[in-house]
A and B are shown apart, each in its own frame.
Chain A
Amino acid sequence: MTAAAEPSGLYRTVALIRGFEQRAVELVRDGVIRGGIHPCTGQEAVAAGTCAALRPDDVITSTHRGHGHVLAKGADPARMMAELAGRSTGLNQGRGGSMHAADFAAGVLGADAIVGAAVPIAAGAAWAMRQAGADRVALAYFGDGAVSQGVVLESFNLAALWRVPVVLVCENNGFATSMRPADTMAGTVVGRAAAFGIPAAVVDGMDPQAVLDATTGAVERARSGGGPTLLECVTYRFDAHHTWEHTARPRYRTDEEVAAGTARDPLEIQGARIPAATRATIDAETAELLDEAVRFALAGPHPDPATALDHLYATGLRPRAGAL
């Protein structure tokens, strides 16, 4: 068992994501992070539990609400925060931002800003790794809002048809922006998987250990040639769809409902499973790590506008400028 899969390791990852998002929201309010973020607060157990079942050479694709996935897979929180702040020292050199964080060295193929768009990308990467003779797997995250996108269902078909080593993780956080699954989804998430012959399970997405246990089985199946598995991790989005809501305050859920939804907190669930002293030590270490991450982000240089289209082409082809 890796350190991340120990009870204290799962807690450490949950605490890291929780603290990271708190600081990121503050930096949005301060104007340091432009464009806002989609906080994953409340959903940390999904990221922590799934990534603890993966090897460093396995890969993931993520979503617009992807900070937790990227951190849990092993990206450096300091470079992640610098990316959110648009600095040259960020994971993507300030080119991607919150919705596109990628760290190929850590197996993060990237977050994606189009709902459902990364699911076939994960399937294709999984297929290629198997073709190369490796026993690596890919894991795709997507939300409850994505399961009615055609491309996601088409990906289920391809993955099952070709027994691709991919794990399909649906984070059902109760809301697609303002819309509830009951208002957008005929049938069920696991029923969609069943239609393609994909084994599927509903998992307690507030419990890191439950997510780890379910993902471990899915990863083993994928690695051993058994093809895809779908896990519907039922969780709850504690914060806004996007930090824009902190000022605009659209009304699609009541305060009472939020209070009920946040009653089960992955931080407390996993925190209760480790000695108090261990928890206190992890909390202190995490706070120090994240304070340093913020310092690193703020100290990073802003990118030079003359480099705006660097990397546009892998071959180095240079486009003409906009004004002649």
Chain B
Amino acid sequence: MPRLSYLKALNRAIGDEMERDPAVCVLGEDIGVAVTYATAGLLRRFGRDRVLDTPISEQAFTSFATGAAMAGMRPLIEFQIPALLFLAFEQIANQAHKFSLMTGGQTRVPVTYLLPGSGSRDSWAGQHSDHPYSLFAHVGVKTVVPATATDAYGLLVTAIRDDDPVVVFAPSGALGVREDVDLAGLAPVPLGSARIHRAGTDVTVVAVGHLVHDALAVADELAGTVSVEVFDPRSLHPFDWAGLAASLERTGRLVVVDDSNRSCGIGAEIVATAAEEMRLVAPPRRVTRPDGAVLPFARELDLACQPTRSQLRAAVEKSVGAG
């Protein structure tokens, strides 16, 4: 079977959807030369009418896509840098997201916002290292964080076909992930449907995005002493609460590993909902960035602010010890 990288999966998903649906178009900065690779080859295949290299005018082209969507197109916007979402937050959260309700259902805004390289890269410092997926889940924009190449393909296809705005975070920590896949078997993955990468009976580890791979590594390390179930929500809003409840029926213990700032991060919502509604025999725990973290430039400082495997392992062991 061919090896598929996460980045190639994103590229393939966009290309396949553009082939399938002439309403799909792509906007973004430097997408013609494809500096992120996600749009590689698209300009040559589909031409300038459907692959629009934009000026550096994020606020304008984000709502430009909203207008195009309201008039029948299905745009995908690539943002090179996660912090550009702060710049275009008004256009996404306060405009695109609100039009379905405010118009009494007269319109829909099928725009996909793709972030190839979210979270920390290698020392890109304070303004290029954020991972604001919780912010979008909080305001209610559909929010997706794929962990694997297959899911990157399937979730991006679903996002493009979805009739609402969807933000797709492709964590930089996952972009290099490769897997053997049957290309003919690639398929859409529904939103709100979690994936259990590894079944277990002692602790459920909910891992977001690239941290799924860290959770699997920790589960391996602990095999023989603790049976860890690795639960990948895949989409954070909507969230597969029924799937999490079923997992906790089996394990009764919960640890969330989440690359958000701790306060008001998605990990807080997961822990709170589990505490309110699900079976827990031990206090739930979170492994996250610190409260309100701004990632410093120096590599040691950058790494010190991100969740680590050793922190996750300690949290899992505490959870078992407490139960």
Which A residues have a C-beta under 8 Å from some C-beta of B? 34-35, 83, 86-87, 92, 94-100, 112-116, 145-146, 148-150, 176-179, 183-185, 248, 250-252, 302-309, 312, 319-324
Interface residues of B in 37-86 (CB under 8 A from A): 53-60, 81, 83-84
Interface centre among A177, A309, A320 (most CB of B within 10 A): A309
Question: How near does chain B come to A225, taking the closest CB pair, in angstroms?
Answer: 33
B300 within 8 A of A: yes
| B304 & A323 in contact (Cβ 8 Å cutoff) | no
A-side contacts of B87, CB under 8 Å: 114
Least CB distance, A199 to chain B, in whole angstroms: 25
Question: Within the complex, which residue of B55, B84, B121, B292 is in contact with A148, where a contact is CB–CB below 8 Å?
Answer: B55
In the complex, the answer to whether A96 meets B297 with C-beta atoms within 8 Å is yes
Residue of B nearest to A251 (CB): B33
Q: Does B213 contact A (CB under 8 A)?
A: no
Cα distance, A100 to B81, chains bound together (Å): 16
Chain B residues near A250 (CB, 8 Å)? 30, 33-35
Whether B33 lies near A320 (C-beta < 8 A) is: no
Please name all residues of chain B whose beta carbon is closer than 8 Å to the beta carbon of A251 when the two chains form the complex.
33
| Inter-chain contact B297/A94, CB cutoff 8 Å | yes
Stretch at the interface among B100-108, B173-181, B272-280, B307-315: B307-315
**In the complex, chain B residues whose CB is within 8 Å of the CB of A183:** 53
Residue numbers in B under 8 Å from A304 (CB-CB): 300
Which of B53, B122, B298, B314 contacts A303 (CB under 8 A)? B298
Cβ contact within 8 Å between A116 and B305: no
Q: Judge whether A112 and B121 touch: CB under 8 Å.
A: no
Per-residue 0/1 for B289-300: is the Cβ within 8 Å of any A Cβ (1 yes, 0 no)? 111111011111
Report Cα–Cα, A321/B123, bound state, in Å.
Answer: 20
Q: Which residues of B contact A86 (CB under 8 A)?
A: 123, 297-300
B56–A148 CB distance below 8 A: yes
B94 located at the interface, meaning its Cβ lies under 8 Å from any Cβ of chain A in the complex: no
| B288 proximal to A (CB < 8 A) | yes
The reply to whether the CB of B89 lies closer than 8 angstroms to some CB of chain A is no
Contacts A148-B55, A308-B296 given: A179-B123 contact, CB under 8 Å?
Answer: no
A98 to B126, CA, bound (A): 11
Size of chain B's interface in residues, with CB distance under 8 A?
Answer: 55
**A320 and B263 contact, Cβ closer than 8 Å, known pairs A96-B297, A100-B297, A308-B296:** yes
Q: A86-B298, A99-B127 are in contact. List 18 more A-B contacts (CB 8 A).
A: A94-B298, A95-B126, A99-B128, A113-B127, A114-B84, A145-B55, A148-B55, A149-B56, A149-B57, A184-B53, A251-B33, A308-B301, A312-B292, A312-B294, A322-B289, A323-B307, A323-B314, A324-B285
CA distance A87 to B294 in the complex (A): 18
Asked if A145 and B56 sit within 8 Å, CB to CB, the answer is yes
Closest chain-A Cβ to B58's Cβ sits at a distance in Å of 8
Contact check, B30 vs A178: say whether CB atoms are below 8 A apart: yes
State whether B262 touches A320 (Cβ < 8 A).
yes
Q: Given contacts A116-B56, A176-B55, A323-B288, is CB(A95)–CB(B33) below 8 Å?
A: no
Please give the distance in Å from A29's CB to the nearest CB on chain B: 14
Complex Cα spacing A150 to B56, Å: 10
* Main SS class of interface, A: loop
Q: Which among B30, B84, B292, B298 has the highest number of chain A CB atoms within 10 Å?
A: B298
Q: Which residues of A are found within 8 Å of B126, using beta-carbon distances?
A: 95-96, 100, 113
Q: Are A34 and B128 in contact (CB under 8 A)?
A: no
Chain A residues near B311 (CB, 8 Å)? 322-323
Give A312 to B122 CA distance when docked, in angstroms: 20
The minimal Cβ–Cβ distance linking A266 to chain B, given in whole angstroms, is 25
A166 → B minimal CB distance (Å) = 21
| Interfacial chain A residues near B121, Cβ < 8 Å | 35
19 contacting pairs across A/B (C-beta < 8 A): A86-B299, A86-B300, A95-B296, A95-B297, A96-B125, A96-B126, A99-B128, A113-B81, A113-B128, A116-B56, A148-B57, A149-B56, A176-B55, A177-B30, A178-B53, A302-B300, A312-B292, A312-B293, A323-B307
Q: Complex: how many Å from CA A82 to CA B296?
A: 15
Interface residues of B (CB under 8 A from A): 29-30, 32-35, 53-60, 81, 83-84, 87, 121-128, 262-263, 285-294, 296-308, 311-312, 314-315
Across the interface, do A178 and B291 meet the contact criterion of CB distance under 8 Å? no
Q: Which 9 A-B pairs have the closest CB atoms?
A: A97-B297, A86-B298, A35-B123, A34-B123, A319-B291, A305-B304, A94-B298, A323-B311, A184-B55
A87 contacts B298, CB within 8 Å? yes
A94 vs B315: C-alpha distance when bound (angstroms): 30
Q: How far is the CA of A319 from the CA of B296 in the complex (A)?
A: 15
Give the shortest distance, in Å, between A154 (CB) and chain B (any CB). 11
> Contacting A178 at CB < 8 Å: which of B32, B57, B128?
B32
Chain A nearest CB from B310 CB (Å) reads 9
B262 touches A35 (CB 8 A): no
Q: Select the residue from A83, A94, A116 with max chain B CB neighbours within 10 A.
A: A94
B125, chain A: closest CB distance, angstroms: 4
Q: Are B125 and A113 touching (Cβ within 8 A)?
A: yes
A34/B299 contact (C-beta < 8 A), A309-B293, A323-B307 known: yes
The residue in chain A whose Cβ has the minimal distance to the Cβ of B297 is: A97
Out of B32, B122, B287, B293, name the residue touching A34 (CB < 8 Å). B122
Q: Is the CB of A35 within 8 A of B307?
A: no
A96 CA to B302 CA, complexed, in Å: 11
Interchain CB contact (< 8 A) of A322 among B57, B123, B262, B299: B262
* Max chain A Cβ within 10 angstroms of own Cβ: one of B56, B121, B123, B262: B56
Known: A99-B125, A145-B55, A184-B56. A320 touches B291 (CB 8 A): yes
Within the complex, the shortest CB–CB distance from A98 to chain B, in Å, comes to 8
State how many angstroms separate the Cβ of A268 from the closest Cβ of chain B: 31
Interface centre among B55, B81, B87, B314 (most CB of A within 10 A): B55
* A183 CA / B48 CA spacing, docked (Å): 12
